[in-house]
Amino acid sequence: EEQEKIDTFGLAASILVTQVEPDGGQAHTQEEQEKIDKVKRRELIPIISKDGPASKEIHALHKSTDNSIIYYILKNLVIATPKFDIVDLKADINFKDNVDKCMWFKVKNAIKMDIESFFACHFLKSAPHLKVDDTELMTQKDYDELRAGFIDPGENQMVSDSPEDCFKKNSNAFCKPNGDGTSTCDLNYLEKYQVKKGTKFRYSGLAIVKDGHIIEVSGVKEGEDQFVSEKAVFLNAFAVHLVLVCHAGMGHLSLYQNNLMKLTTDRSDEYKDLWETNLGPKLLMKALTPEGTNEVNTNIQLLIGPNNSLVGRATSLTNDSITLLNMDMYDKHTAMSPDGIIANIGGSGAPKWDEACKRAWTASKNMVDVICADIKDSDVLEDNDLESLALLAWTGMFYHGFIGDFQLDNVNKGNLPFLITGEPHIQTKAYGTLSTVIGVSTMTRTMNAKTLQTYFPKQGQKDAYKNYLVELNECRQLSGIEGWANDGPIYNAIDF
Q: How confident is the model at residue 306 (pLDDT cuts 50, 70, 90)?
A: confident
pLDDT of residue 16: 36
Q: Which of 102-116, 281-295, 303-317 has the lowest mean pLDDT?
A: 102-116
Pairing label, strands 176-177, 206-210 = unpaired
CA atoms within 13 A on the CB side of 324: 21
Within a 10 A sphere around the Cβ of 303, how many other Cβ atoms?
A: 23
Residue 47, CA distances (Å) to 60, 64, 323 in order: 17, 21, 20
**Could you report the per-residue pLDDT of 15-31, keeping only the tens digit for each?**
334 345 677 667 788 99
What are the beta bridge partners of residue 184? Answer: 176, 208
Three-state secondary structure string covering the chain: CHHHHHHHHHHHHHHHHHCCCECCCCCCCHHHHHHHHHHHCCCCCCCCCCCCCCHHHHHHHHCCCCHHHHHHHHHCCCCCCCCCCCCCCCCCCCCCCCEEEECCEEEECCCCCCHHHHHHHHHHHHCCCCCCCCCCECCHHHHHHHHCCCCCCCCCCCCCCCHHHHHHHHHHHCCEECCCCCEEEECHHHHHCCEECCCCCCCCCEEEEECCEEEEECCEECCCCCHHHHHHHHHHHHHHHHHHHHHHHHHHHHHHHHHHHHHHCCCCHHHHHHHHCCHHHHHHHHHHCCHHHHHHHHHHHHHHCCCCCHHHHHCCECHHHHHHHHHHHHHHHHCCCHHHHHHHHHCCCCHHHHHHHHHHHHHHHHHHHHHCCCCCCCCCCCCCHHHHHHHHHHHHHHHHHHHCHHHHHHHHCCCCCCCCCCCCCCCEHHHHHHHHHHHHCCCCCCCCHHHHHCCCCCHHHHHHHHHHHHHHHHHHHHCCCCCCCCCCCCCCCCCC
- pLDDT above 80 for 4: no
Contacts of 73 (CB under 8 A, 6+ apart): 120, 123, 124, 127
**Could you report the per-residue pLDDT of 157-214, keeping only the tens digit for each?**
899 999 999 999 999 999 999 999 999 999 999 999 999 888 899 999 999 999 889 9
pLDDT of residue 468: 94
Give the mean pLDDT of 51-69.
49
pLDDT of residue 442: 67
Residue 141, CA distances (Å) to 145, 162, 432 in order: 6, 20, 12
Contact 443, 152 (CB under 8 A): yes
Q: How confident is the model at residue 495 (pLDDT cuts 50, 70, 90)?
A: very low
Give the mean pLDDT of 120-137.
67
% of the chain with per-residue pLDDT over 70: 76
% of the chain with per-residue pLDDT over 90: 53
Q: How confident is the model at residue 385 (pLDDT cuts 50, 70, 90)?
A: very high
What are the beta bridge partners of residue 22? Answer: 196
Contact 340, 347 (CB under 8 A): no
Q: How confident is the model at residue 307 (pLDDT cuts 50, 70, 90)?
A: confident
Mean pLDDT of the chain: 83
Distance (Å, rounded) from C-alpha 187 to C-alpha 18?
27
What are the beta bridge partners of residue 108? Answer: 99
Output the pTM of the full model. Answer: 0.89
pLDDT of residue 461: 97
Q: How confident is the model at residue 387 (pLDDT cuts 50, 70, 90)?
A: very high
What is the sign of the dihedral through the CA atoms of 327, 333, 304 and 55? positive
pLDDT of residue 448: 65
pLDDT of residue 25: 65
**Could you report the per-residue pLDDT of 96-113, keeping only the tens digit for each?**
888 988 899 999 876 555
- pLDDT above 80 for 464: yes
Stronger pLDDT, 23 or 215, i.e. the higher one: 215
Stronger pLDDT, 120 or 99, i.e. the higher one: 99
Q: How confident is the model at residue 292 (pLDDT cuts 50, 70, 90)?
A: confident
